[in-house]
Structure 1
Amino acid sequence: MKKNYLLIMALMMMFVLVLAGCGTSNDEGSVNDDASGNEAKANEDSGTLVMGTSADYPPFESRNPQGDIVGFDIELANYIADELGMELEIRDMNFDGLIGALQAERIDMVISGMSADEDRRKNVDFSIEYHSSGEMFVSLKDAAFTSLDDLNGKTIGVQLGSIQQEGAANLQADYDFEVKTLDDAQGLIQELLSNRLDAVYLDKEVALGFIAAQDLAGFDDPSGTTPGMAVAFPKGSELVEQVDAIIEQAIESGKLAEWEAEWLSE
């Protein structure tokens, strides 16, 4: 998979450009899948584990040229479902709608590069952390930034509802930049390529993928560390303890390291 990553990223960006030209706002598997109000909550009797994700965040979750949702998080999700003896159903929706879907119990869990920060812990339960990347600022090569001071007077893009949105708000206390939010990471990169954003603030692994695929520039955020990624559940979910044990098993067996080698940057 990893050796085809740049090709996949390039094809995905071409797909985004086509959608933008056609005025398409959501793909078939967006948050609007839940608009009918049909109950999507799974249980042990159904044998189906319903997972919410936002498939616009490679290499954690994205659609390949065939339209399948793939990535590091998807490997973990399939492993969890297999260990639970359940079928995995993936629901693709906007990132900022994932917590609400958990609270309404329309899905059983979220695996979507979601950081287990304290604000989210007020509304959902989290598994143990399974990955930590850090953050990067991404810009065009001919207008590359190398420090936070370079961001003064600029417009920075972040994904709506992401840990980076919160981080950017904190940085605004010390740096004078404007923040623009969009629903998905690929849309942010398109805005950057179209010169409607000066920089994009992303998870480091995601940023490195876009930098390689689009020949962009970037620098690490030195301002501090963010919580690692974890699986999110509705408050009081009985799955938390089981999934914790499965993640620990994946770490001890080397499975998690295999997925990191396959999907994540060296």
Structure 2
Amino acid sequence: MRLNRVFSALVVAATICLPFTAAQADDLQQVEKAGKLSVALSGAFPPFSFVDENNQAVGFDVDIGTEIAKRLKVEANIVTTAWDGIIAGLVTGRYDTIIGSMSITEERKKAVDFVGPYYRSGLAVFVKKGAAVKTVDELHGKTVGVTLGEAAEKWARDQNAFEIRTYKGLPEMLLDLGAGRVDAVVADDVPVFVAIAKSEAPVEQVKDDRMPRYDIGIAIRKGNPELAAAMQKALDEMMADGTYEAISNKWIGQDIR
């Protein structure tokens, strides 16, 4: 559910400056030759990706990426990286794909191609339980927490109605909400629901049908139709044979496709 951001000049410049040969070659052959699919994600977006007590990246997106690599007959190489530079890293060749809960937007399509979508999500507003907030409009002028670079940040800023405080990830943002350092948070709904269920956090959703929903896709570099087709085939097969549902139930508790 990661989502819509304003692209920096770095991404645009990186796209323009790629060598012609690299831009025209299909990455599938390189993946097969290397014997690995390098998968980028933030590692700070539980339950989709996070670092466990053994310092290993785990989560829904990690398992999806690992399974796709397996079906491409290569190993998965999981790379954790800062979300606000993740597209620039893909465009400049640091990894082969982003399987990191990234929303498909027209803006992002200018820089990358997408496989999928592989699930749907949406933004939601959450407040401390007992705050007696019934509508989003009641939060106008209040301090709202968002994760830097995600769709929630863009949405909140576009409203021109909140004081914005940015965070690197969901856990610290929810801690500040519970401690009263922000009045509300705007985030993708699924990971917050999971966090509430696991920790019994004193947080509740402010229901509002006006909140946006979006498709979540797998990003690859532009001009790679063979890699796109191979990854889409792997994803379709996962959804058909029950593997996707098992992964989704493991991390989310329901099928989120």
User: Normalised by the size of structure 2, how large is the TM-score?
Assistant: 0.80
Partner of 1:143: helix, strand, or coil?
Answer: coil
Compute the displacement of 1:255 (Å).
1.6
State the match for 2:31 in structure 1.
43
| Equivalent residues in 2 for 1:202-217, closer than 5 Å | 202-212=187-197, 213=199, 214-217=201-204
The answer to whether the Cα contact below 8 Å between 1:114 and 1:231 also exists between their aligned partners in 2 is: yes
5+ unaligned residues in a row in structure 2: which ranges? 1-26
| Equivalent residues in 2 for 1:128-167, closer than 5 Å | 128-167=116-155
The answer to whether the Cα contact below 8 Å between 2:136 and 2:206 also exists between their aligned partners in 1 is: no
State the match for 1:118 in structure 2.
106
The C-alpha deviation readout for 1:127-173, integer Å capped at 9, x for no partner, is 0101112222122214253311121111111111112122223333x
Distance 2:191 2:208 in 1: 14
2:238 corresponds to 1:230? no
Distance 1:149 1:203 in 2: 19
- Residue type matched to 1:208 in 2? F
Distance 1:250 1:92 in 2: 24
User: Normalised by the size of structure 1, how large is the TM-score?
Assistant: 0.78
Compute the displacement of 1:210 (Å).
2.5
- Residue type matched to 1:239 in 2? L
Structure with the bigger RCO (C-alpha within 8 Å, sep 6+) is: 2
Percent of aligned positions that are identical = 30
- Residue type matched to 1:236 in 2? G
- Residue type matched to 1:136 in 2? A
Compute the displacement of 1:75 (Å).
1.4
State the match for 2:164 in structure 1.
179
5+ unaligned residues in a row in structure 1: which ranges? 1-40
Distance 2:143 2:190 in 1: 22
Partner of 1:65: helix, strand, or coil?
Answer: coil
- Residue type matched to 1:150 in 2? E
Distance 1:170 1:193 in 2: 25
Compute the displacement of 1:203 (Å).
0.8
> Over the residues paired in the alignment, what is the CA RMSD in angstroms?
1.9
Runs of 4+ in 1 over 3 A off after TM superposition: none
Partner of 2:34: helix, strand, or coil?
Answer: coil
Distance 2:213 2:106 in 1: 11
Residue 57 (structure 2) aligned to one of 69, 75, 80? 69
Distance 2:88 2:230 in 1: 23
